[in-house]
Amino acid sequence: MGLIGGFEKEFTLDFTPEYLPRIDVNLPEGTTKNIGPMDSAVIPIEVNNLGNARTTVFFNIENIPKGWTAAVTDDITLDDSTGTLAYLTVKPPKEFGYHYDKKSIMVKLTPARAEDLTNLGEPLYVTIIVQSRGFSTPGFETIGFIGALAIVMLTIFIFRKRK
């Protein structure tokens, strides 16, 4: 094999790796939340960047049950793998009566390269179950306050009249 002569040459090869849009989602408080019908649930969503570049994660609510309101952080940008929190806020319908509602809300998380937001990854979906249980009296708090104030004023008036 001595017929082929060896050689050495040093050169530089520049390349840009393709974006790897990988994120990890964690719900620190779990996937279910119990609240009263007059309360709102605030659910933290922790997102970790497992990709190879700065990543912007876009949040969208996929389904909102009828009568419920929900809002989520629009987007967050992740520099490294450190977990960053986004928040989902959910409010059940405010109707008079006893409630025992259990609804699921789906949030879509779409990663994108922070330097080129058109370079999107596959979305992840997170489902959170919110249970609203209890008695709701929307608007009646004001009537109760006015009634109590009227009783106090009437008592003061009667007490002064007797003097």
Under 8 Å between Cβ of 86 and 142: no
Domain ranges within the chain, ordered by starting residue: 23-162
> Does domain 23-162 correspond to CATH entry 3.40.640.10?
no
pLDDT in tens, the chain (163 residues): 567 777 888 989 888 788 889 999 999 999 999 988 888 999 999 999 998 889 999 999 998 989 899 999 999 999 887 788 999 999 988 777 777 789 999 999 999 999 999 999 999 999 999 998 877 665 555 666 677 778 888 888 887 777 6
Phi, psi (degrees; rounded to nearest 5) at 7: -150, 160
Query: Which value, to the nearest 10 degrees, does the dihedral of the CA atoms of residues 81, 72, 95, 30 take?
Result: -10
Under 8 Å between Cβ of 27 and 87: no
